[in-house]
Amino acid sequence: MVAASATAALAAVPSAAGAAPAGTDKPVLAKVGFTVNGERRELELDTRTSLLDAVREHLHLTGAKKGCDHGQCGACTMIVDGRRINSCLTLAVMHQDASVMTIEGLGKPGDLHPMQAAFVKHDGYQCGFCTPGQICSSVAVIAEIKSGIPSHVSADLNGTYEVTDAEIRERMSGNICRCGAYSNIVEAITEVAGKQA
Amino acid sequence: MKFDTPAGTNPIDRLKVVGKATDRIDGPFKTTGTAPYANDWHDPQAKLAYGVVVGATIAKGRIASMDLGAAKAAPGVVAIVTADNAGKLGKGKLNTAKLLGGPEIEHYHQAVAVVVAETFEQARAAAALVKVKYTATEGAFDLASVKDGAKDPGDVQGSPSSSSVGDFAGAFASAPVKLDESYETPDHAHAMMEPHASVASWDGDKVTVWTSNQMIAWGTRDLALTLDVPQEKVRMVSPFIGGGFGGKLFLRSEALLAALGARAAGRAVKVALTRPQMFNNTTHRPATLQRIRIGATPDGKITAIGHESWSGDLPEGGPEAAVLQTRLLYAAPNRMTALRLVVLDLPEGNAMRAPGEAPGLMALEVAMDEMAEKLGIDPVRFREINDTQVDPEKPERAFSQRSLVACLRQGAERFGWDKRGKPGQVRDGRWLVGMGMASAFRNNMVLKSAARVRLDGKGMVIVETDMTDIGNGSYTIIGQTAAEMMGVTLDKVIVRLGDSDFPVSSGSGGQFGANSSTSGVYAACMKLREAVAGKLGFNSADAVFEDGQVRSGNRNVPLAQAATGGDIVAEDAIEFGDLDKTHQQSTFGGHFVEVGVDVATAEIRVRRMLAVCASGRILNPKSARSQVIGGMTMGVGAALMEELAVDTKRGYFVNHDLAGYEVPVHADIPHQEVIFLDEVDPMSSPMKAKGVGELGICGVGAAVANAVYNATGLRVRDYPITLDKLLNRMPDAA
């Protein structure tokens, strides 16, 4: 209900006219290099390739999910140069020399990041499909609050902010969970934020 | 194993592992991005091709011509499959419309082609070059305008579409207090986070499809029927499913088109529906128009209750069974229900979480609230007065368990229901505050379910069944069941799900999965226990499986020792007798909701939510609670925002993405509380459990609606309750 993400036109894709290049054009390829979870990666990509598809289809890091492919669901959330973004809404070639963090970079089974462990403990998921995006967003949200970035529910644009339920709910509203684990996710984030304070 | 007499004491009753609020065993994979969903699959040895689906842009008619020239010539294109070149195709038993349309078009965004190319970007660009000319014909798209031509749909879910007891018309006419109201629920989308996605690969005449499907055996059967190949030539693998809610009960177009695309391309092909295709290409919960009549005596006894519902579907489709709960929920000597169906040429209607009860209770439980007010009786008390312990249509048939009143009383006390004010009278700053409640009701279905269990020489127990985990916690509760049965800790159990090479389970749907599939694992484990006891020279009736040991008398042997000479494998199924016919098996609950409505803008915010549930034994309170809060969340969506907007001229759902079709987000949902009554139901299964996955959504929408009424004094009978339906009627903001 809260439009926290960018929206896209209600076009009948992919048959919408004008979405494609002329039929005989060869794809334009470009080289791009960035680090993913600390590892330098060099790719030569069709310039139309989103960061999400570059990571999923070319690097086979499939933790980030394609839930809508146009910035409405948050399942593809990655942390790029310290900020969370919808990786489906950005082209890979725009990220030369960027530092990309995906869910795989946060922790692994047996060596979970505190936020991953808190999601397990509080059952902050059900089907698990939105979970990588929720967790990447959660980690970034705590950092945003601590670094003094205000949100729609912040009373003062120049204040300092606490990790309250209202701040968490507002800032996490770009990550949809259709299974409805919100109440548990807020508990997981609150616990991690409390431990870090 | 046949389950035809009520369960006695059995190894599950020890509750050393079952019944514990255990973290999900798949949690570390889901939280690290290492759980493999359909579209995550790739073959490191071979390059995938990508398929993009082209959907029809008319609702009804025929393809006049297709020009594939530009698309075929586009860079990277490997193959294009249409109905023209797909070969002979059948139709799945559970599909109403064809999954690959043409030349006839049955609904908007029905697939008409899949374009396969070397890369996703190339396939997407080429798909946009497919030119289709259509000859559109007139269709029916507006339920209200064709309602009067509705037909009796015949049997629905095994019972007649109309029911009648006593003299409803006479009793209603003479009732001292009467309610006769109409309610509307709109079309709803499952909108699960994972789009329908499949990767298909052929090996000779055999196809393997990595897919996202709640019901593996239905899926393989229907894909085989559609491809016109024997079922043993189809394998489906679906270990993780990114949400289904009924939308993935059936074979859908992307799986068929991946298989056809892969055959044409001669290599593995990945196909996912785009988010905007999902709303019109796949199924949805049909809209309903409902009429409810209740007659009662001044002291609150219902003398007559009638519930009718109209809905639409494609030809050969079925109705939304919105009246079924009304046949069972409240006592009354005179009763009638009727389901009526019209043909609509909208996309295919089908099951979505708690089909029938979800929209049915959205109407019935508002009607009960309205009637309570007319009578001047508290809504909780009104429901208590009309409780029944037997099937009201067949009084000789008792409920196996029925704790509705206990749920309502406990909920009222916990929620502070006695502090509820009069409609429109409670203010908290800029908010008008109100409380609402509703009964929750959903039947407990049981389905045959099989599993295979293996004990290896290290003492590990490996469970294999084609059961699916759609977020319902199947991995964990199946692991808990096997651990309990074999007397080992949960870390000694490996659970493998969602593969058609495994024994056929109940699958996930209709809240039958948890109880049925764990009962299947129970049956297989009983066989394994016998085999283990035999191997160790124990009498299986005396052997106790505990702490990783098998004990009989004063002899104690490590479980693993039974398998030192080789793995021991046992397979069995649970098959249910007629206990669900001799007794009515249902699940019950009470929903309590507090909302605030902004006095100036009529913005509605949910402030508090509580559900009290009686669902038999709760196998894992942690994952079961999540199922309930998930249902409550979806119910808030149904109450306040979810509506597929129908273009009644062009015949499609206009708001076909997640910006237009609004679902609840974090900011919409408060802390949610769930209480489970301590209950076991030996009539249900050896697990003594019942379904709980859909109970959470049942009634909650009405509880929200009733809270909005209590806050504002304004009754809205057409969902969703959006602020525009309140704004010009709001009480003075003074």
Contact B193 A75 (CB under 8 A): yes
Q: What are phi and psi of B299, to 5 degrees?
A: -85, 10
Kindly state whether A1 is in contact with chain B, defined as any CB-CB distance less than 8 angstroms. yes
The helix/strand count (H/E) of chain A reads as 6, 5
The pLDDT tens digits for B637-657 are: 999 999 999 999 999 999 999
Are the CB atoms for B140 and B345 separated by under 8 Å? yes
User: Does A126 fall in a domain?
Assistant: yes
Cα angle for residues B378, B384, B388 (degrees, 5° grid): 150
| Integer Cα distance of B661 and B644 in angstroms | 7
Contact A66 B39 (CB under 8 A): yes
Q: Could you tell me if B400 and B477 lie in one domain?
A: no
In angstroms, the separation between the Cα of residue B372 and the nearest Cα of chain A is 31
User: Does B265 fall in a domain?
Assistant: no
In angstroms, the separation between the Cα of residue B108 and the nearest Cα of chain A is 10
Q: Could you tell me if B522 and B615 lie in one domain?
A: no
Last residue of a domain, one of B557, B577, B597: B577
Q: Could you tell me if B597 and B572 lie in one domain?
A: no
In angstroms, the separation between the Cα of residue B48 and the nearest Cα of chain A is 10
Q: Could you tell me if B417 and B506 lie in one domain?
A: no
Last residue of a domain, one of A105, A123, A151: A105
Q: Could you tell me if A118 and A94 lie in one domain?
A: no
> Which of A1, A2, A88 to probe by mutation at the B interface, max B CB count within 10 Å?
A1
Contact B32 A106 (CB under 8 A): yes
pLDDT above 90: residue B169 = yes
Catalytic, B365? Answer no
Q: Could you tell me if A89 and A120 lie in one domain?
A: no
How many distinct structural domains can be found in chain A? 2
Q: Could you tell me if A98 and A123 lie in one domain?
A: no
User: Does B709 fall in a domain?
Assistant: yes
Residue in chain A closest to B270 (alpha carbons) equals A57
The pLDDT tens digits for A14-56 are: 444 444 445 557 899 999 999 999 999 999 999 999 999 999 9
Q: Could you tell me if A99 and A136 lie in one domain?
A: no
Give the structural domain span for A57.
29-105
Contact A61 B672 (CB under 8 A): no
Q: Could you tell me if A146 and A172 lie in one domain?
A: yes
Query: Binning pLDDT at 50, 70 and 90, where does residue B184 land?
Result: very high
Q: Could you tell me if B639 and B598 lie in one domain?
A: yes
Contact B75 A25 (CB under 8 A): yes
Nearest to A104 among B33, B52, B663 (CB): B33
User: Does A85 fall in a domain?
Assistant: yes
Task: Give B76's contacts in chain A (Cβ within 8 Å).
Answer: 27
Could you give the strand order of the β-sheet that contains B427-428, starting from the edge strand earlier in sequence?
A: B427-428, B431-443, B586-598, B604-614, B672-676
Kindly state whether B690 is in contact with chain A, defined as any CB-CB distance less than 8 angstroms. no
Last residue of a domain, one of B577, B600, B617: B577
A29-36 and A99-101: which strand pairing?
parallel
Burial B491-508 (b: 16+ CB within 10 A, else e): ebbbbbbbbbebbbbbbb
User: Within a 10 A sphere around the Cβ of A160, how many other Cβ atoms?
Assistant: 11
User: Does A189 fall in a domain?
Assistant: yes
| Integer Cα distance of B401 and B134 in angstroms | 56
Position with higher pLDDT, A14 vs B78: B78
Q: Chain A neighbours among B 83-122 (CB < 8 Å)?
A: 109, 119-122
Question: What is the predicted pLDDT for the residue at B399?
Answer: 98
Contact A177 B625 (CB under 8 A): no
The pLDDT tens digits for B512-570 are: 999 999 999 999 999 999 999 999 999 988 999 999 999 999 999 999 999 999 999 99
User: Does B228 fall in a domain?
Assistant: no
Are the CB atoms for B329 and B348 separated by under 8 Å? no
| Integer Cα distance of B152 and B168 in angstroms | 19
In angstroms, the separation between the Cα of residue A160 and the nearest Cα of chain B is 21
Last residue of a domain, one of A74, A105, A136: A105
User: Does A15 fall in a domain?
Assistant: no
Q: Could you tell me if B569 and B474 lie in one domain?
A: yes
How many distinct structural domains can be found in chain B? 2
The pLDDT tens digits for B84-101 are: 999 999 999 999 999 999
Contact A65 B30 (CB under 8 A): no
User: Does B666 fall in a domain?
Assistant: yes
A147: left (phi over 0), alpha (psi -120 to 50) or beta: alpha
User: Does A21 fall in a domain?
Assistant: no
Tell me the residue ranges of DSSP E strands in chain A: 29-36, 39-46, 77-80, 83-86, 99-101
The pLDDT tens digits for B210-240 are: 999 999 999 999 999 999 999 999 999 999 9
Q: Could you tell me if A72 and A51 lie in one domain?
A: yes
Task: Give A49's contacts in chain B (Cβ within 8 Å).
Answer: 119-121
Q: Give ipTM to 2 decimals.
A: 0.97
Map residue B567 onto helix, strand or coil.
coil
User: Does B291 fall in a domain?
Assistant: no
In angstroms, the separation between the Cα of residue B673 and the nearest Cα of chain A is 9
Name the nearest CA neighbour of B681 among B505, B451, B564, B519: B519
Give the structural domain span for B535.
2-35+446-577
The pLDDT tens digits for A44-99 are: 999 999 999 999 999 999 999 999 999 999 999 999 999 999 999 999 999 999 99
The pLDDT tens digits for B696-723 are: 999 999 999 999 999 999 999 999 999 9
User: Within a 10 A sphere around the Cβ of B641, how many other Cβ atoms?
Assistant: 19
pLDDT above 80: residue B207 = yes
CATH number of the structural domain spanning residue B547: 3.30.365.10
Last residue of a domain, one of A86, A105, A124: A105
| Integer Cα distance of B312 and B117 in angstroms | 38
Q: Could you tell me if A79 and A143 lie in one domain?
A: no
Name the nearest CA neighbour of B624 among B565, B685, B569, B693: B693
User: Does A18 fall in a domain?
Assistant: no
H or E element, residue B293: strand B288-296
Question: What is the average pLDDT score of chain B?
Answer: 97
Last residue of a domain, one of B549, B577, B605: B577
Nearest to A4 among B194, B631, B665 (CB): B665
| Average of per-residue pLDDT across B612-616 | 98
> Which of B22, B24, B31, B620 to probe by mutation at the A interface, max A CB count within 10 Å?
B31
Kindly state whether B39 is in contact with chain A, defined as any CB-CB distance less than 8 angstroms. yes
User: Does A17 fall in a domain?
Assistant: no
H or E element, residue A136: helix A131-146
Kindly state whether A43 is in contact with chain B, defined as any CB-CB distance less than 8 angstroms. no
Question: What is the predicted pLDDT for the residue at A24?
Answer: 54
Kindly state whether A29 is in contact with chain B, defined as any CB-CB distance less than 8 angstroms. no
